[in-house]
Amino acid sequence: MTKSARLRLQVPLPDFYTSASPEELAGRIGGARRRLGSRLMILGHHYQRDEVMAWADARGDSFGLSRLAADNREAEWIVFCGVHFMAESADVLTAGHQVVMLPDLNAGCSMADMADLDSVEEAWESLAGVTDIERVVPVTYMNSSAALKAFVGDHGGAVCTSSNARAVLSWALGLGDRAAARGDKVLFFPDQHLGRNTGYQLGYGAADMAVWDPRADLGGLDEATVKGSTLLLWKGHCSVHQRFRPAHVEAFRADHPDGLVLVHPECAHEVVEMADQVGSTDHIIRMVEAAAPGSTIGVATEIHLVNRLAAEHPDRSVVCLDPLVCPCSTMFRIDAPHLAWILDGLVEGEVRNRITVDPATARSARLALERMLAIV
């Protein structure tokens, strides 16, 4: 195991939680929430199940939730209903007296696991052998470990999310203000799709971008390609969003010629090119809200969000572009039994599943997160 890929193990829940009825669990969660009052804040990412989202004090995309965590100084306990990297970021951004908890420690993110500190450090060293490393800006997607955010903080880069990748890349490369450029080249990890889609949005072409394969020498590239590329895109992806294919868009358009296609930027570029709108989960929500009653909207993102949008807008037809449905299996791990177990622990005076980032890592990661928050 690499030093950055630590094993996390969720202890099995006591029988009560796994055999309780939804009503019993709701009674338990509601009771604990009342007792804990404003000392508790429950944050819910848009991909969470309804049985969890029903209890969230605030919902959001990964950027919105990181802002909420950074701005809130009241809550003593922050229960993060999302995945591990989000809870880590919340711990980095909250004050020392605030405790962040993740209801199921196994709620990771397969994309975040595609880049670890060892392989990013190796990539950095290889790059330094062929290019002026002082002119390379590392940018990490929020979907990454705190160790990678710290690496980025220490090397002059910033974090980005799906809602601000464009602004962060513009900042890194000084688009609009060349004199303020942080460098001439970006190493972007771990999602090649978000990097590529954003690169195209900024006017770069295929020849300006190359995929960096961490398993191959020099990322599988020759020296000339490294030197000639502005964006080096880590070979990572989201298995949920990569499932959406152009054929899904074609089938939707054939059935609904006037329909609206909304996709998340973790989808492949061929799919993004065919969409009417591309954006973060928050952006997708706003676009559905703005759509005319009676419209049909095909959405390429996680199914819990698509189903919630459909339920909340009965006067519009909101469907998933992939008829085979694509849940995020790690977001799905957070459920009412785990939430009840965490809150019962707090009522009993026990903090369960605390997520902590060690102080040195947190300091550097905070730098990278705060640079992002200052850009947008």
- Enumerate binding residues for ligand 13P (CB under 6 A): 61-63, 143, 161-162, 238, 266, 280-281
Site string for ligand SF4, 135-174 (x = CB under 6 A): --------x-------------------------------
Determine which residue in the list 65, 262, 297, 328 makes contact with ligand SF4, applying CB under 6 A: 328
Residue 277: strand, helix, or coil? strand
φ and ψ of 90, to 5 deg:
-65, -40
Residue 281 binding partner per list ligand SF4, ligand 13P, none, with a CB distance cut-off of 5 to 8 Å that depends on partner kind: ligand 13P
Q: Which residues contact 308 (CB under 8 A, 6 or more apart)?
A: 46, 50, 53
Q: What share of the chain is helix, strand, coil (3-state, %, to 5)?
A: 50, 15, 35
Q: Smallest gap, in angstroms, from Cβ of residue 241 to ligand SF4?
A: 6
Q: Which does 364 bind (CB under 5 to 8 A by kind): ligand SF4, ligand 13P, none?
A: none
Q: Least Å distance between CB 280 and ligand SF4?
A: 11
Query: Considering the complex, what minimum distance in angstroms separates the CB of residue 72 from ligand SF4?
Result: 22
Which among ligand 13P, ligand SF4, none contacts residue 145 (Cβ within 5 to 8 A by kind)? none
Q: Does 238 bind ligand SF4 (CB under 6 A)?
A: yes
- β 40-45/77-81 pair status: parallel
Q: Does 106 bind ligand SF4 (CB under 6 A)?
A: no
Is 65 among the residues that bind ligand SF4 (CB under 6 A)?
A: no
Helix (H, G, I), strand (E, B) or coil at 190: coil
162 binds, among ligand SF4, ligand 13P, none (CB under 5 to 8 A by kind): ligand 13P
| Burial (0-12, 13-18, 19+ Cβ within 10 Å), 229 | buried
Contacts of 186 (CB under 8 A, 6+ apart): 136, 137, 138, 139, 169, 172, 173, 195, 230, 231, 232
Q: How far apart are CA 357 and CA 309, in angstroms?
A: 34
CB of 61 to ligand SF4, least distance (A): 10
Q: Please choose which of ligand SF4, ligand 13P, none residue 77 contacts, taking the beta carbon within 5 to 8 angstroms, the exact cut-off set by kind.
A: none
Decide whether 110 or 225 has the Cβ nearer to ligand SF4: 110
61's contact among ligand 13P, ligand SF4, none, with CB below 5 to 8 A by partner kind, is ligand 13P
Cβ at position 60, least distance to ligand 13P in Å: 7
Partner interacting with residue 110 (select from ligand 13P, ligand SF4, none; CB below 5-8 Å by kind)? ligand SF4
Give one DSSP letter per residue of 110-164, joined into a string: TTGGGS-HHHHHHHHHHHHHHS-GGGEEEEEESSS-HHHHHHHHHTT-EEE-TTT
Report, in Å, the least distance between residue 36 CB and ligand SF4: 27
Tell the smallest beta-carbon distance from residue 83 to ligand SF4 (Å). 5
Q: Regarding beta strands 277-278 and 136-141, do their DSSP bridges make them parallel or antiparallel, or are they unpaired?
A: unpaired
Among residues 208, 209, 201, the alpha carbon closest in space to that of 277 is found at: 201
Distance in Å, CB of 191 to ligand SF4, minimum: 7
Q: In sequence order, what are the beta bridge partners of 159? A: 140
Residue 160's binding partner among ligand SF4, ligand 13P, none (Cβ under 5 to 8 angstroms by kind) is: none
Stretch that binds ligand SF4, among 23-31, 72-80, 214-222, 325-333 (CB under 6 A): 325-333
Would you mind telling me the total number of residues written for the chain in this entry?
A: 376
**193, 234 in Cβ contact below 8 A?**
no
**Footprint of ligand SF4 on this chain (CB under 6 A)?**
83, 109-111, 143, 238, 240, 302, 328, 330-331
